[in-house]
Amino acid sequence: MGKKRSLSEAQRAQIVILRQEGYTERALSERLAVTKTAVHQAVVKFKNVDLIHIVRGAVAHGKPPNETIF
């Protein structure tokens, strides 16, 4: 058995977003034509990451930058 190609960042993001929308890992693997293991690993890797903000380019949480008004 040889090494399979890895998922692209776009595929990983799509997996996580669709999983959050309620798709099962099995359904995602069939829909994206990847292994169930690859889907599971992508879900676990980003389990604690709020990917919605990353994908949409939102600003991270925390203190806003100082704004100087003249």
What digits encode the pLDDT tens for the residues 34-61? 999 999 999 888 875 555 555 555 555 5
What is the Cα–Cα distance from 29 to 37, expressed in whole angstroms? 9
pLDDT attached to residue 46: 80
pLDDT attached to residue 29: 95
Count CB atoms within 10 A of the CB of residue 23: 17
Confidence grade of residue 28 (pLDDT, cut at 50, 70, 90): very high
| H helix runs in the chain, sequence order | 9-20, 25-32, 36-45, 51-56
What is the Cα–Cα distance from 26 to 29, expressed in whole angstroms? 5
What pTM value is reported for the model? 0.61
pLDDT attached to residue 54: 56
CATH of 1-70 given 2.60.40, 1.10.3470, 3.30.420, 1.10.10: 1.10.10
- Residues contacting 14, CB < 8 A, separation 6+: 32
